[in-house]
Every structure is written in C-alpha cells, then in structure tokens.
Amino acid sequence: MQLSELKLISASNIIKLRTEKELTQAELGAKLNYSDKTISKWERGEAIPDAYVLLQMAEIFGVSVDYLLSNHDSWEAPRDEAQESTRSYSVNVIISIAVIAVMTVALTVFVTMWLLDIIEWRVFIVGGSIAILTYMILDCVFKKARHLQFALAAFVLSIFVILYVFVPLAKPWQLFLIAIPAEIIVFLSCNIRKKPTKPWEKGTK
C-alpha cells in the first residue's frame, strides 16, 4: 500500500470516528495536544499521525491502531470546520429564538392580565415548562438529542413544580418525593443504550 493511499484511509477513519464521537476538530486536537489545523491536515489526507498519536486516537475512539489504518469505506473530503461552526451557531440561534418566543408569549399573557388587574405570576411557570418542551423538540430535530436527558429531566421537574403550584393543597411538598425516582428513571432511560463492542473484541465472546 502506498503512503498516499494510507493517508486517505486514515483521514477517512479519523473523520468518521470523530463525527461519531461528536467532537469538533478543536476538541480532538485538545485531547491530543495538537491544534485544530493539524487535525484538519490529517483529515484532508495531507499528512498522517505518527505512531504515538495513532495509539492515543485508538484509545479515544475505542478502536485498534489497525482499525485506523484499515480501509472501511471510501474517503470523503472533510467539511470546512468554519462552516460547521457557523451552522452550529445558526442552530443555537434558532433554538434560542424559539425559547425566547415562548417566554415572550408568557410575558404578554402576564402583562395583559395585569392590565385587567389580575396578577398571575404562575403564567411564567407554565411558560417555562413549554419553553423546555420546545427546546427538547428542537434539540431532537437539529442536534440529534445531544442534550436530551438534561432537558427531559428539567421538563419532568417543571411538571412537578406546576402541580405543586396549581394543586389546591396547602403545601403538597410530598409531590417532590415522587420527583426524585422520576428523575432517576429519566437519566437511566437516556443511558440505557448498550456500550458498543470494540472492533478487536468482536468474536471473542
């Protein structure tokens, strides 16, 4: 195998494994003590990491060095990191606008009721719960549920807060006793996926 071909194979594998780990070039570079420019150079097939760096990568990605240097699919030119950052930034802006819009509606309702001499601050509690739900939906659509477990935990807690505020009892603090196991169930459910088997461990069981 020629060196040029080996560079393209390693580039393809680094791109694939890095994106699967949801790491940016800068984040991977930080783990390896290299700049994002060096990572970009490797991913463009212009150079190949040395043996020590390949060992570090193998540990980070949970694969063998041989896997990094073996052909698994065709090489694809990496996307420009600046474009990825711009797209990520735009997605964050969209999500922020949607969440702020929900809270603006809640504020509008509050001010309208205030003008009618009705002070109902609980509108913000309901608005906050809806805002979290909106974030969850957009997180699933744009970010593949990257922060779903935290948003879901916050949403479940907000439901208990709504019940606490609106239930016609003096101090229904007992509701939060139920919230504790509910939060635990949320986090366990979001991490129920089995850890993938490492390539060199396949067939050993």
The model's pLDDT over 140-187, given as tens digits with 9 standing for 90+, comes to 777 666 667 788 888 888 888 888 888 776 667 777 788 788 888 877
The model's pLDDT over 121-140, given as tens digits with 9 standing for 90+, comes to 889 999 999 998 888 888 87
Provide the H-helix boundaries in 144-203.
148-166, 175-190
- Please, which pLDDT band fits residue 95 given cuts at 50, 70 and 90? confident
Supply the pTM of this predicted model: 0.49
CB atoms under 10 Å from CB of 149, counted, come to 15
Look over the chain and give the mean of its residue pLDDT values, rounded to a whole number. 79
CB 112 within 8 A of CB 159: no
Low-confidence winner among 37-46, 87-96, 119-128, 150-159 (lowest mean pLDDT): 87-96
Q: Could you tell me what percent of the chain has a pLDDT over 90?
A: 12
Domain segments of the chain as ranges: 3-68, 81-190
pLDDT at residue 204 greater than cutoff 70: no
Q: In CATH, what number does 3-68 get?
A: 1.10.260.40
- Please, which pLDDT band fits residue 111 given cuts at 50, 70 and 90? very high
Provide the H-helix boundaries in the chain.
3-20, 25-32, 36-43, 51-61, 65-68, 81-115, 122-143, 148-166, 175-190
Q: What is the model's pLDDT at position 75? A: 46
pLDDT at residue 8 greater than cutoff 80: yes
Q: Which token pair is 84?
A: 């990825």
C-alpha span between 62 and 74 (Å, rounded)? 21
